[in-house]
């Protein structure tokens, strides 16, 4: 060893340089999907466990864990209408090892909150819209209206008498109800609940004669006759409720609204990893048990491209944001 290398100061400097280089390589993360994933992947769900978004996330996580032989695990991070978990994902390293499952809050919160700790477009890269479920209008069987036009006429003839239950302020079912009020000048009382199950139970009990909800929580009650399905807010009838007409079939257009479940990654995540995720989800939702699970939940598979999902997010944000402003809905 030369005298220079025996110098403690020089050896210390070289070791420092090697440490910096090693840290830089470690921080660089995977640059391609060839060896991805090399370890477990965190899938953040910004809501409590048990809801449709969480259930779909766990179905996807299990299937991808089997497909990739690396664990994809769900981390629930509820709070502030989803903003807490979404912000956590926005701050994550864009290396493909933190993924976010999004639903209504991701789309609506930018309009409802005066400030949110993320930008849904700039801070995330879309992967795919996994599945979608139409919202549905249902009524207590005692309500003397059998279709949507009759329901609107009944509300108009009785201003202030009728109310509708909705599962959460700012949810797309809530905003669909507000849209109908605005469009037809209805004096209809909005009653918010902390969850769809409570909204449905209130309508079954006749406390709130009308309910605007996502399809899953109302589906079995409509089938059992505890609720009367008035309209599915979609361009096509739902296979889960084939006898319930769409709002368009009822002659009341422009009320369509879905509850979406999609997947995004922190902005800057390599495109080949985005493509790997998209390809895996396309294959996953073709599996018979996954299709059956989605149908049971009242969701239809989508798996559109990242580009298509990005455009859908922008369109949904503009649509629901306009209703939030027109109805003067605030969450803070």
Q: Is residue 35 part of a domain?
A: no
Dihedral sign from CA coordinates of 253, 254, 260, 264: positive
Q: Find the CATH number of the domain harbouring 163.
A: 3.40.190.10
Q: Are residues 179 and 126 in the same domain?
A: no
What residues in the chain have per-residue pLDDT under 50? 1-5, 10, 14-15, 17-31
Q: Is residue 243 part of a domain?
A: no
The DSSP annotation for 282-319 comes to: HHHTTSHHHHHHHHHHT-EE----HHHHHHHHHHHHHH
Provide the CB-side half-sphere exposure for 287 (13 A, CA).
Answer: 14
Q: Are residues 123 and 159 in the same domain?
A: no
Q: Are residues 211 and 138 in the same domain?
A: yes
Q: What are phi and psi of 287, to 5 degrees?
A: -70, 135
pLDDT of residue 8: 52
In a 3-state reduction of DSSP, which class is residue 198?
helix
For the stretch 20-56, pLDDT in tens is: 444 444 444 444 568 999 999 999 999 888 888 999 9
Q: Are residues 102 and 181 in the same domain?
A: no
For the stretch 222-234, pLDDT in tens is: 999 999 999 999 9
Q: Are residues 143 and 279 in the same domain?
A: no
Q: Are residues 113 and 157 in the same domain?
A: no
Q: Is residue 207 part of a domain?
A: yes
Q: Is residue 31 part of a domain?
A: no
Q: Is residue 24 part of a domain?
A: no
pLDDT of residue 11: 52
Q: Are residues 157 and 207 in the same domain?
A: yes
Q: Are residues 122 and 269 in the same domain?
A: yes
Question: Which domain-ending residue is among 216, 233, 250?
Answer: 233
Q: Are residues 53 and 128 in the same domain?
A: yes
pLDDT of residue 25: 43
Check residue 245 and report its DSSP letter.
Answer: P
Q: Are residues 101 and 52 in the same domain?
A: yes
Q: Are residues 229 and 143 in the same domain?
A: yes
Q: Is residue 102 part of a domain?
A: yes
The C-alpha atoms of residue 20 and residue 135 are separated, in whole angstroms, by 54
Q: Are residues 193 and 125 in the same domain?
A: no
Q: Find the CATH number of the domain harbouring 281.
A: 3.40.190.150
Question: Which domain-ending residue is among 182, 217, 233?
Answer: 233
Q: Which residues contact 81 (CB under 8 A, 6 or more apart)?
A: 105, 109, 112, 113, 168, 170, 331
Q: Is residue 1 part of a domain?
A: no
Nearest to 285 by CA among 63, 88, 30, 54: 63
Q: Is residue 187 part of a domain?
A: yes
Report yes or no: 297 and 55 within 8 Å, Cβ to Cβ: yes
Query: How many domains does the chain contain in total?
Result: 2
pLDDT of residue 7: 54
- Domain of residue 112: give its range: 41-132+259-326
């Amino acid at each position: 060893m030369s005298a220079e290398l025996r110098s403690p100061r020089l050896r210390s400097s070289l070791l420092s340089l090697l440490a910096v280089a090693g840290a830089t390589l470690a921080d660089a993360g995977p640059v391609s999907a060839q060896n991805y994933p090399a370890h477990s992947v965190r899938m953040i769900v910004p809501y409590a466990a048990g809801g449709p978004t969480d259930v779909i996330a766990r179905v996807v996580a299990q299937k991808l864990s089997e497909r990739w032989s690396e664990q994809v695990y769900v981390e629930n991070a509820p709070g502030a209408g989803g903003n807490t978990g979404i912000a956590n994902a926005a701050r994550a390293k864009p290396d493909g090892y933190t993924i976010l499952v999004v639903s209504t809050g991701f789309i609506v919160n930018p309009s409802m909150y005066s400030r949110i700790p993320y930008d849904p477009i700039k801070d995330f890269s879309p992967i795919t819209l996994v599945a979608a479920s139409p919202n549905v209008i249902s009524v207590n069987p005692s309500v003397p209206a059998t279709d949507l036009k009759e329901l609107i006429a009944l509300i108009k003839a009785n201003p202030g008498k009728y109310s509708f239950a909705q599962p959460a302020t700012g949810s797309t079912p809530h905003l669909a109800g507000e849209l109908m009020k605005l469009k037809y000048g209805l004096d209809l009382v909005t009653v918010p609940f902390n969850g769809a199950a409570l909204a449905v139970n209130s309508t079954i009990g006749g406390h709130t004669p009308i309910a605007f909800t996502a399809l899953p929580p109302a589906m079995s009650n409509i089938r059992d006759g505890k609720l009367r399905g008035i309209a599915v807010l979609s361009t096509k009838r739902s296979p889960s409720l084939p006898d319930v007409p769409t709002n368009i079939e009822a002659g009341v257009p422009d009320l369509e609204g879905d509850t979406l479940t999609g997947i995004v990654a922190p902005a800057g995540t390599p495109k080949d990893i985005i493509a790997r995720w998209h390809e895996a989800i396309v294959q996953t939702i073709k599996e018979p048990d996954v299709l059956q699970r989605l149908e049971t939940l009242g969701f239809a598979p989508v798996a559109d491209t990242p580009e298509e999902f990005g455009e859908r997010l922008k369109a949904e944000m503009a649509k629901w944001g306009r209703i939030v402003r027109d109805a003067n809905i605030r969450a803070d």
